[in-house]
Amino acid sequence: MLTHSKRIFVSNRLPFTANTKTQTLTRGSGGLVSALLGVNLEESFYWMGFETDSASARLLAEKSHEIQKNLICHPVLLSKEIYDTYYDGISNDLLWPLFHYETQLAVFNRENWDVYRQANAVMAEEILKVANEGDTVWIHDFHFLLLPKMLKEKNPHIKIGFFLHIPFPAAEIFRQLPVREEILRSLTACDLVGFHEHSYLRHFISCMKAFLGVDSTLFKAEVGNHTLNLGVYPISIDTEEFKRKAESPKVEKLSQSYRTQGTGQFKLLGIDRLDYTKGLELKLKGFQKALRMYPELVGKVSLLQVAVPTRLKVPLYGEIKKNLDQLVGAINGEFGTPDYVPVQYIFKSISEETLLALYRRADATLVTSKRDGMNLVAMEYVIAQDIQTPGVLILSEFTGAASLLPDALIINPWDAEMVAKSIHRSFTMPLEEKRQRMHNLQQTLMRYSASAWAEGFLADLEQHDAMIKKDCQT
Ligand code: GDG
C-alpha cells in the first residue's frame, strides 16, 4: 500500500458510544467491534459510521483518538427518522432474518427500502468527501449493501472491499427478496467481496449466476469490463491480547471465586445476545433433555446463561424472552432442589472481566446458534482456557466457526438428544482428551488473529491483481 493513501472502514455505528453528560466514550460490544479494534494497523485509519445526535457526533470525532491513537472516527449524521427505518425497518426486519434463513420473519416494504437506499446514499456522499483516487474503502455488513455501486459510479478509482459478517443465504432463500438484483448489482461493483465461510461464497456465486447471469470461478467474476474478486476470510479475535487478559491475576482470582460459588460442580456456560438466531431455546431444551436422559447429571451439572438484551422494544424479542423465562422456570422447577439450581440466567450484559472469568471457570461452553456468520464467543472461550485444566467447546454446525474448529464437539442444535449426549460427553470426557482437543483448537486460533484477518483482506483488496488464495482450495 502507498503510505499516503487512506484506509477507511465503514460500518453502521462507530466502535464507541458517546455519553454527552459525562463527556466520555464507551467501547461498543458485538462481534465487529471486537474484531476490528483488535486489528494492529500501524498506520492511522478512518472509521465512518452513523450517528443521530450531533453532540454525540462531536464528542466521538474529538475523543476517539484518546482511546485508540491511530483511529480517526468520522461520525456521519443521519436524522433519527431515516436511521430508524434504514436500521429497524430494513436491516433488522428484512435483511437480518432473511440472511439467517428466518424467511417468515422477513418483512419487505418498498417505502422502507427507498429510505435504506437514501441512508446508503448519505454515507456514500460523506465517504466521497474523504476518499480520493487510490484510497481503500472497506465496507462492513448488510447495512450497506447498496453502497459499493454508489461509490464506484462516482469514483471508479477508489478500491472497494465489502465483508459480510452474517451468512449469505442459499439462492432459494435469497430469491425471496424483491430487490435481489439491485443488491447483487451493487456488490458486483466491488473490487473484493469476502465471506466467513465457503458455503456463503458458493451461495453468492449461485445468486450472481441465477439472478444476473454472471459466470464466475470460485474467486473471480468478470462483470462487464470490471473484475470482481471473491474470497473466504474467516474472522478471528485479538488472540494474544485476549489470552493476556484472560490470564491476568485479577481474572484468575475472580474465576476462582466463581468456581466455588453457585450450584453444580460441573459448570456449563452460554453467552449470547438474546436473538432468535442464537438458538437459546434449543440450548435449554438440550440441557433439559440431558438431565432427563442422564439422571447422574442432576445435582452435578448446572448451566449459567448470559442473555444480553437487544432490541427490547420489538415485540418478537419480548416473546423470545418470555419463552426463555418459561423454559428456565420449567427446568428449575423439574430438577431444582433447595441446594441445586440447574439454570442460572442473567438477562443483562456483563463486564469484560466477568466475561473472561466465566470463560475461564466454565467446564464446557455451549453455542447452539441456528445460523451464525462466525460466532466469536466460541473463539474467545477457546483462547481463555488454561491448557492444564481446559473445558470443552460444544458448537453448532450452523456457525461459521464450526468449519474452523473441528475439535469442538460439533452438534446439530435442533437435535435435542445430540445436544444432551454432547453435554454428557463433556462431563465424562477424560482430561487427556480435553487437553488434546483444546490444544488443537488453540493452535488453530493462535495462528490466526483478528489482525491477520484484516491484513489478509486489505492486502488482497489493495493488490488485487496478485490475489493470494490462501486456505481456499477445498
Ligand atoms: C456478528 C455475527 C460474527 C456478548 N455479550 C457480552 C459481550 N459479548 C461479546 C462477545 C463477542 C461478541 O459480543 C459477540 O460476537 P458474536 O460473533 O457471537 O455475535 P454478533 O454480535 O451477532 O456478531 C457473528 C460477528 O459479527 C463477527 O463477524 O461472528 O456471526 O452475527 O465478542 O464477547 N461482551 C461483554 N459483555 C457481554 O455481556 N463485555
- At 44 the pLDDT is 81
- Report the separation in Å between the CA atom of 307 and the middle of ligand 1, taken as the mean of its atom positions: 11
Decide whether any atom of ligand 1 lies within 6 Å of the 454 Cβ.
Answer: no
What does the pLDDT look like over 77-88, one tens digit per residue? 999 999 999 999
- At 41 the pLDDT is 65
Q: What region, left, alpha or beta, does residue 345 occupy, with left being phi > 0 and alpha being psi -120 to 50 degrees?
A: beta
pLDDT at residue 387 greater than cutoff 70: yes
Burial class (CB in 10 A: 0-12, 13-18, 19+), 246: buried
What does the pLDDT look like over 341-359, one tens digit per residue? 999 999 998 999 999 999 9
Q: Distance (Å, rounded) from C-alpha 223 to C-alpha 399?
A: 31
Distances (CA, A) of 197 to 1, 113, 230: 26, 28, 12
- At 26 the pLDDT is 87
What does the pLDDT look like over 152-165, one tens digit per residue? 999 999 999 999 99
Does the model's ipTM exceed the 0.90 cut? yes
pLDDT at residue 369 greater than cutoff 80: yes
- Report the separation in Å between the CA atom of 220 and the middle of ligand 1, taken as the mean of its atom positions: 31
Contacts 24+ apart (CB under 8 A), 13-17: 13/49, 13/50, 13/51, 14/47, 14/48, 14/49, 14/51, 14/60, 14/64, 14/73, 14/75, 15/47, 15/49, 15/64, 15/71, 15/73, 16/60, 16/64, 16/67, 16/73, 17/56
Task: Give the pLDDT band (50/70/90) at residue 149.
Answer: very high
**Residue from 37, 39, 375, 393 to probe ligand 1 pocket by mutation (most atoms less than 8 Å from CB):** 375
Contacts 24+ apart (CB under 8 A), 401-408: 401/234, 401/367, 401/372, 401/374, 401/375, 403/197, 403/198, 403/234, 404/234, 404/444, 405/378, 405/379, 405/441, 405/444, 405/445, 407/436, 407/437, 407/438, 407/440, 407/441, 407/444, 408/378, 408/437, 408/441
Query: Which atom in ligand 1 lies closest to the alpha carbon of residue 306?
Result: 38
Mean predicted confidence (pLDDT) in 410-414: 98
Residue 223 · residue 214 · CB < 8 Å: yes
- Report the separation in Å between the CA atom of 473 and the middle of ligand 1, taken as the mean of its atom positions: 28
Task: Give the pLDDT band (50/70/90) at residue 268.
Answer: very high
What does the pLDDT look like over 106-134, one tens digit per residue? 999 999 999 999 999 999 999 999 999 99
Cα-to-chain-centroid distance, residue 443? 21
Mean predicted confidence (pLDDT) in 237-249: 93
What does the pLDDT look like over 285-331, one tens digit per residue? 999 999 999 999 999 999 999 999 988 878 889 999 999 999 999 99
pLDDT at residue 259 greater than cutoff 80: no
Mean predicted confidence (pLDDT) in 246-260: 91
Percent of the chain surpassing pLDDT 90: 82
Task: Give the pLDDT band (50/70/90) at residue 5.
Answer: confident
Decide whether any atom of ligand 1 lies within 6 Å of the 164 Cβ.
Answer: no
- At 28 the pLDDT is 77
pLDDT at residue 469 greater than cutoff 70: no
Q: Distance (Å, rounded) from C-alpha 349 to C-alpha 258?
A: 17
Beta-carbon-side half-sphere exposure of residue 274 (alpha carbons within 13 Å): 26
Residue 100 · residue 370 · CB < 8 Å: yes
* Average model confidence (pLDDT) across the chain: 92
- At 30 the pLDDT is 61
Which SS3 state, helix, strand or coil, does residue 76 take? strand
Query: Which atom in ligand 1 lies closest to the alpha carbon of residue 29?
Result: 13
Decide whether any atom of ligand 1 lies within 6 Å of the 274 Cβ.
Answer: no
pLDDT at residue 472 greater than cutoff 50: no
The segment with the largest mean pLDDT, out of 53-67, 135-149, 246-260, is 135-149
**Residue from 368, 376, 393, 445 to probe ligand 1 pocket by mutation (most atoms less than 8 Å from CB):** 376
pLDDT at residue 68 greater than cutoff 90: no
- DSSP string computed for 214-227: --B-SSEEEETTEE
Cell numbers given for 425: 460427553
- At 423 the pLDDT is 98
Query: Which atom in ligand 1 lies closest to the alpha carbon of residue 380?
Result: 33
CA torsion 384-197-41-96 (nearest 10°) is -90
Task: Give the pLDDT band (50/70/90) at residue 137.
Answer: very high
pTM: 0.94
Q: CB 381: neighbour CB atoms within 10 A?
A: 30
Query: Which atom in ligand 1 lies closest to the alpha carbon of residue 401?
Result: 29
- At 468 the pLDDT is 38
Residue 407 · residue 441 · CB < 8 Å: yes
- At 186 the pLDDT is 98
- At 409 the pLDDT is 98
- Report the separation in Å between the CA atom of 17 and the middle of ligand 1, taken as the mean of its atom positions: 16
